[in-house]
Amino acid sequence: MKTLQQIDRVARDLDPEVHEANFMGAKLKSERRYAALERDYPDSDKLREVAGQIKQHTLEHLDHYLEQVEAAFQRNGVQVHFASDEEATNATVLRIMNESGAHSMVKSKSMVTEEIYLLDYLEKNGKDVVETDLGEFILQIDGDHPSHIVTPIVHKNRRGIAKSFEREGLGDYNDDPATITRRARKYLRQKYLDADVGLTGANFVSAESGRIVLVTNEGNARFCMAANRIHIAVVGIEKLVPTDRDLGLFLNLIGRSGTGQQLTVYNQFVGGPRAASQPHGPEAMHVVFVDNRRTEVLASDCREILRCIRCGACLNVCPIYRQSGGHAYRSVYPGPVGAVLSPLLAGNRFPELADLPKASSLCGACNEVCPVNIPIPDLLLRLRDKAKREGASAAMKGTPNLVLWATLCSQPAMWKTALSMGHSMNYIPTEMIPHPSAKAWQAARKLPKFQGGEFRKWFKQRNR
Amino acid sequence: MSLLHTPPNRPTGKSVQLMTTCLCDAFYADVAQATVEILEYLGCEIELPDGQTCCGQPAFNAGDWTSSRKVVRHTAKVFAGEKPIIVPSGSCAAMIFHGAPLEFEKEADLPTIQALAARTWELMDFIVNGLGVTEWPGTYPAKITVHRSCHLRGSNSGAAIGTLLGSIAGLTVEPIDETEQCCGFGGTFAVSFPNISNSMGTLKIEKLTACQPDVVAAADMGCMMHFGGMMQKQNMPVKRLHVAQILRDSLRNAGLI
């Protein structure tokens, strides 16, 4: 069907095989999430609410917690850096590498580094960087981007990956997943040993103790830290939680929400570089806190989105994401969370992504599964209002103009005249819709029979 | 807890105002009639404010809050008073008790809108939690499936529908797969994202009709207009009814009205 909206177009034209992979991947993760929460917590809504309150509290006192964590990190021997934007963050990482004569880096999965194109930046500056998360490694060799926050290559299949491995000299064509994994592991093990710097993100940071928490299912974040002299953690400022005790709640929620695991396989609590008594581990640890418009989001009426712990549950349950896949969102963060966060992080490029908040039936499934209870539909609505007020045309494409309708609905006499005229279908909103959309409605659906005013008549006669 | 928190301590009683909804006013007269018949069976005295039009939801969802607020202001004027306002649609009710206060956050007349929100009930929620009816009399021998409209999330209405339908003699409610998935209507979404909307509708119809029910039911004519329109286009013979029509027909079948 004809459509004016980009995400709808992507969904329409998507390769059926990719659609199937996205759809089934999402559905399966949703089912696992539900089963894991259902089994262990009779009232998981209570947990989601408390977790949301903790994150909201932290955000509302972020200045306090950032100061607290900076002091805690320094006590632990961690060097803390604050970076305002993409450029500053990338430059900070490069400077740390240069100052220590580091040339090569192994990195684990981190969405914030996707946001700032860190890998491209470091490569452009002559550094050797390898992604060690299997999915991210495959994306790196393909020059591709993640289509999902947790399962970045859900849009790919093993045959394509086998071809990529063959092309990269990682063995003859073999599409057996175990073989692919084994080959990647062999290749990456040497990279861990050769690298100077290990870079990670952080899923949580305890302000109280100055610990970062890393959750993975491959153990690669641990490897990134184990064999290198320097550990750099690039962390969004919204990752803070007040105390270590809070981590119990969040670790219980993140695995279950994201993949239906009670706990992710590897959970690292990193409190600083190696101590004198420890034989192994990085000699230096740097934490780079990234703002990159997060304080702008914090000041906006969509600040709740900063509670997000990047579990991907909202993507998995979202009927729109299931149809379109993650790349349709044209940004680092796809799905419902991305439809809110990406346009906000785009700053003055908001109009380019103003259609994202429109890609929702506002069904609220995202809110219902969110481990930190973000009212995503409300935020999507606020951004729709913003787009309309700012005249962002990407958002308005295909949406009927409702000004005339509003007048009709504020004038009872006009409304009743419209109702009483059997032929007055033209006054009904669906018929006021610009051409392609109106066609779309009637291409797939019949309009109900017009019965304008019949109920009013019945009601009056009945009460006479 | 989800997005839609049903307002606490709403007024109840048997003197009520009925918000027909624009879809029933224009297309689904029998749903509105059924609403009146079941409320009157329960002893309610119904006032039908004549100037009512629409709740403002289409423009609210479309992002045109200026237009939406205009309609909501009109609605607030028309539904003046203290009586409970009863709405036979989850999404229109949610528009009044959740959407309207959201879009009036920075408006001077927010208190007026909050007062309107604080006495608005979705019909099934009102019957069960307002009037305390937990068993529905009559008989309705049929196997049905129920579409869980999205605007019932987090409100009391979903459970209320289950309570009422579950208590009718002869009626079997068959569970459906992926009940949390939206049918793909979403107001103007259905026309601005026609391909995704259509795919969602197709999936929903598949689930709703998998067990070959006699009736597919919902408590929101927005959803029904969309997926029902699709079913009609495909000439599917399954009967589609609003829950209010089933409650009314149950009374009729037993000669109670």
For chain A, domain boundaries? 8-28+303-396, 57-292, 404-463
Give the start-to-end residue ranges of the domains of chain B.
15-129, 134-253
Q: How confident is the model at residue B205 (pLDDT cuts 50, 70, 90)?
A: very high
Q: Touching check for A387 and chain B: CB below 8 Å?
A: yes
Residue (of A409, A422, A452) closest to B29 by Cα position: A452
For residue A381, the chain B residues in CB contact (below 8 A) are 60-61, 63, 99, 102-103
Structure tokens at A260: 């239906």
Q: Is A428 a residue whose pLDDT tops 60?
A: no
Q: How confident is the model at residue A8 (pLDDT cuts 50, 70, 90)?
A: very high
Question: What's the pLDDT tens digit per position in A24-44?
Answer: 999 999 999 999 998 999 899
* CATH assignment of A57-292, among 3.50.50.60, 3.20.20.60, 3.30.830.10, 3.40.50.10420: 3.40.50.10420
> Do A451 and B199 make contact, defined as CB atoms within 8 angstroms?
no
Determine the average pLDDT of the residues in B81-89: 98
The span from the CA of B121 to the CA of B125, in Å, is: 6
Q: Is A426 a residue whose pLDDT tops 80?
A: no
The span from the CA of B224 to the CA of A124, in Å, is: 55
Please provide the DSSP assignment of A276-319 as one string.
TT-SSS-SEEEEEEE-TTHHHHHHSTTGGGGG-----HHHHH-H
pLDDT cut 90: percent of chain A above it: 88
Largest alpha-carbon pair distance within chain B?
Answer: 52
pTM: 0.96
Q: Is A186 a residue whose pLDDT tops 70?
A: yes
Q: Is A65 a residue whose pLDDT tops 80?
A: yes
Determine the average pLDDT of the residues in A393-404: 93
Q: How confident is the model at residue B2 (pLDDT cuts 50, 70, 90)?
A: very low
Ranges A8-17, A436-445, B53-62, B206-215: which has the least confidence: A436-445
User: Which residues, 6+ apart, have CB-to-CB distance to A106 below 8 Å?
Assistant: A129, A130, A132, A188, A191, A192, A195, A197, A198, A199, A223, A224, A228
Q: What angle do CA B63, B122, B219 make, to 5 degrees?
A: 85
Question: What's the pLDDT tens digit per position in B15-46?
Answer: 999 999 999 999 999 999 999 999 999 999 99
Total residues belonging to chain B: 257
Residue B56 contacts residue B75 (beta carbons within 8 Å): yes
Residue B145 contacts residue B27 (beta carbons within 8 Å): no
For residue B200, the chain A residues in CB contact (below 8 A) are 319, 323, 361
Q: Touching check for A455 and chain B: CB below 8 Å?
A: yes
Instruction: Give the pLDDT score at A462.
Output: 83
Q: Is A326 a residue whose pLDDT tops 90?
A: yes
How much is the CA Rg of chain B, to the nearest whole Å?
Answer: 18
Within 90-119 of A, beta carbons closer than 8 Å to B belong to none
Provide the mean pLDDT of chain B. 96
Q: Touching check for A398 and chain B: CB below 8 Å?
A: yes
Residue B132 contacts residue B152 (beta carbons within 8 Å): no
- Give me the amino acid identity at A343: P
Instruction: Give the pLDDT score at A446.
Output: 85
The span from the CA of A230 to the CA of A208, in Å, is: 23
- Quickly name the fold that domain A8-28+303-396 has: Fumarate Reductase Iron-sulfur Protein; Chain B, domain 2 (1.10.1060)
Instruction: Give the pLDDT score at A35.
Output: 96
Closest chain A CA to residue B68? A406
Provide the mean pLDDT of chain A. 94
Residue B138 contacts residue B252 (beta carbons within 8 Å): yes
Residue A231 contacts residue A286 (beta carbons within 8 Å): yes
Within 38-97 of B, beta carbons closer than 8 Å to A belong to 48, 50-54, 56, 58-68, 70-71, 73-74, 78
Long-range pairs, B35-41, Cβ under 8 A, ≥24: B35/B86, B35/B88, B35/B123, B35/B244, B36/A459, B36/A462, B37/B248, B37/B251, B37/B257, B38/B127, B38/B244, B38/B247, B38/B248, B38/B251, B39/B86, B39/B123, B41/B251, B41/B256, B41/B257
Instruction: Give the pLDDT score at A419.
Output: 85
Ranges A134-143, A271-280, B60-69, B200-209: which has the least confidence: A271-280
Q: How confident is the model at residue A192 (pLDDT cuts 50, 70, 90)?
A: very high
Q: Is A52 left (phi over 0), alpha (psi -120 to 50) or beta?
A: alpha
Instruction: Give the pLDDT score at A33.
Output: 97
Closest chain A CA to residue B182? A363
* CATH assignment of B134-253, among 3.40.1130, 3.30.460, 3.40.50, 1.25.40: 3.40.50
Q: Is B238 a residue whose pLDDT tops 70?
A: yes
Instruction: Give the pLDDT score at B1.
Output: 33
Structure tokens at B37: 């018949």
Structure tokens at B96: 């009044």
Instruction: Give the pLDDT score at B168.
Output: 98
Residue A192 contacts residue A223 (beta carbons within 8 Å): yes
- Give me the amino acid identity at A366: C
Decide: helix, strand or coil at residue B120.
strand
Residue A270 contacts residue A214 (beta carbons within 8 Å): yes
CATH topology agreement for domains A8-28+303-396 and A57-292: no
Q: Å from B48 to nearest chain A CA? A: 8
Q: How confident is the model at residue B153 (pLDDT cuts 50, 70, 90)?
A: confident
Please provide the DSSP assignment of A200-248 as one string.
E--SEEETTTTEEEEEESSSHHHHHHHT-SEEEEEEEGGGEES-HHHHH
Determine the average pLDDT of the residues in A387-412: 94
User: Chain-centre distance of CA A340, in angstroms?
Assistant: 9
> Do B58 and A429 make contact, defined as CB atoms within 8 angstroms?
yes
Q: How confident is the model at residue A430 (pLDDT cuts 50, 70, 90)?
A: low
Q: How far is CA B49 from CA A327, A356, A412, B75, B123, in A?
A: 49, 39, 11, 10, 17
> Do A444 and B230 make contact, defined as CB atoms within 8 angstroms?
yes
Instruction: Give the pLDDT score at A435.
Output: 54
Q: Touching check for B222 and chain A: CB below 8 Å?
A: no
Place of tokens 């990047």: A310
Instruction: Give the pLDDT score at A379.
Output: 98
Q: How far is CA B243 from CA A194, A202, B157, B167, B250, in A?
A: 67, 49, 11, 13, 11
Residue B120 contacts residue B87 (beta carbons within 8 Å): yes
The span from the CA of A333 to the CA of B182, in Å, is: 22
Determine the average pLDDT of the residues in A281-308: 97
Q: Is A251 a residue whose pLDDT tops 70?
A: yes
> Do A7 and B191 make contact, defined as CB atoms within 8 angstroms?
no
